[in-house]
């Protein structure tokens, strides 16, 4: 079986102009981030404009045409942004209702306890060490999931504990860590208000999502 690294090497070997490819990929990635879609323009048209610019030729379009096109692009992007925001708001309302119901049902599960703000937790293993303060830096192992079981982040999978100041993580973590003792492992069920709220953390965490974490407090640094 070919390893991922070998597959990338084979692909790179087929690119005759690697500088051109790099520039094209970089520009294309930037376009995607700005909201452009592949159907907005043709590669041929873009290549013609690129060649004219590199050759320091006068543009093939008049100043009036260039200004008109710039206005169309701005209007198109504003419309897409508005549509995206409307969709996020709709998704946020739906997720808020789902999250509230999920937490209500989860609260009935045996062993689930609740802290302030609606933070739910379950003790998997109780430690015997000290508890950190908001000013302390800690080392933890964790796995973060959505309520559907999808993993969005995991120090365990990376094989490297995470280290950070307690006071600089999401509020749900702050509340839990200061109650945990070194050596403890808890399951956390964090309501959106104590996580990423109505904005979410794209692309993996949507608006008003409940987050499920398995957190092991390894040490206070």
Residue 161 pLDDT > 90? yes
pLDDT at 135 over 90: yes
- CATH number of 101-220, picked from 3.10.50.40, 3.90.550.10, 3.30.460.10, 2.20.130.10: 3.10.50.40
- For the chain, give every domain's residue range: 4-60, 101-220
Q: Which two tokens stand for residue 181?
A: 């003792």
Give the residue from 72, 66, 64, 40 showing the smallest Cα distance to 52.
Answer: 66
Confidence of residue 144 (pLDDT cuts 50, 70, 90): very high
Residue indicated by tokens 């996580």: 195
- 2 pLDDT exceeds 60? no
The two structure tokens encoding residue 89: 């708001």
Residue 180 has pLDDT above 80, yes or no: yes
Average pLDDT, the chain: 90
Q: What is the DSSP letter of 209?
A: -
Active site residues: 142, 152-153, 170, 196, 213
Residue 193 CA neighbour count, 13 Å, CB half: 8
Q: What's the rounded mean pLDDT across residues 140-159?
A: 96
The closest alpha carbon to 220, from 109, 137, 102, 122, belongs to: 137
Residue range 64-99, pLDDT digits in tens: 999 999 999 999 999 888 887 777 677 667 788 899
């Amino acid at each position: 079986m070919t390893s991922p690294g070998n597959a990338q090497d084979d692909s790179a070997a087929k690119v005759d102009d690697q500088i051109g490819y790099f520039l094209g990929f970089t520009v294309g990635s930037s376009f995607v981030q700005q909201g452009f879609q592949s159907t907005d323009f043709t590669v041929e048209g873009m290549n013609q404009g690129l060649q004219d610019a590199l050759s320091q030729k006068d543009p093939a379009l008049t100043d009036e045409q260039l200004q008109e096109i710039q206005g169309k692009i701005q209007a198109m992007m504003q419309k897409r942004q508005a549509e995206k925001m409307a969709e996020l708001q709709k998704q946020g309302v739906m997720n808020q209702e789902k999250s509230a119901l999920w937490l209500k049902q989860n609260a009935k599960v045996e062993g689930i306890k609740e802290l302030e703000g609606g933070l739910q937790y379950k003790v998997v293993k109780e430690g015997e060490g000290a508890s950190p303060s908001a000013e302390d830096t800690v080392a933890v192992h964790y796995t973060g999931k959505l309520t559907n079981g999808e993993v969005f982040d995991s120090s365990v999978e990376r094989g490297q504990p995470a280290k950070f100041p307690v006071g600089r993580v999401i509020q749900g973590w702050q509340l839990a860590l200061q109650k945990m003792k070194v050596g403890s492992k808890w399951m956390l069920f964090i309501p959106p208000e104590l996580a990423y709220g109505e904005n979410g953390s794209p692309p993996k965490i949507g608006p008003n999502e409940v987050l499920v974490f398995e957190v092991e407090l390894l040490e206070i640094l």
